[in-house]
């Protein structure tokens, strides 16, 4: 979880493979998901797990795999991890072993 612009609390919803701010009416409001996760369903498709904010907005995420199937990340968790750019949806780095929260520090 991380606070963004305007005091909005963002979190990674691993089970639904999305980024979302809290929502008082429905618990969360999905705002972004990886391009390979085609549906918003509670299937933990890619084990999205890490979030880095830049200038008050979600910028980078990590996931344990690039899967669109229920728990599809599990068979390759030792080398299937990715770092992604939220704005473009591009995978910036592949082959990571169970990556977790990326951090933006000192302009990098």
The rounded average pLDDT for each run of 10 residues, N- to C-terminus, in the chain (108 residues) is 94 97 90 96 96 97 97 95 98 96 92
Contacts 24+ apart (CB under 8 A), 67-74: 67/36, 68/36, 68/37, 68/38, 69/43, 69/45, 70/43, 70/44, 70/45, 71/43, 71/44, 71/45, 71/47, 72/45, 72/46, 73/44, 73/45, 73/46, 73/47
Residue-level pLDDT at 24: 85
Sheet holding 2-3, edge to edge: 2-3, 9-13, 18-23, 27-28
pLDDT on residue 23: 87
For the stretch 19-27, contacts whose Cβ atoms lie closer than 8 Å and that sit 24 or more positions apart, written own/partner, are 19/48, 19/51, 19/58, 19/61, 19/86
Please state the domain extents for the chain.
2-96
Determine the pLDDT at residue 56. Answer: 96
Contact 44, 72 (CB under 8 A): no
């Amino acid at each position: 979880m991380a606070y963004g612009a305007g005091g909005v609390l963002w979190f990674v919803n691993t089970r639904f493979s999305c980024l979302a701010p809290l929502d008082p009416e429905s618990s969360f409001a999905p705002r972004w998901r990886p391009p390979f996760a085609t549906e918003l369903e509670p299937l933990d498709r890619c084990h999205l797990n890490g979030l880095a904010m830049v200038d008050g907005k979600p910028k980078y995420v990590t996931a344990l795999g690039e899967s669109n199937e229920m728990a599809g990340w599990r068979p390759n968790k030792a080398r299937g991890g990715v770092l992604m750019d939220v704005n473009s949806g591009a995978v910036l780095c592949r082959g990571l072993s169970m990556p977790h929260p990326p951090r933006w520090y000192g302009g990098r």
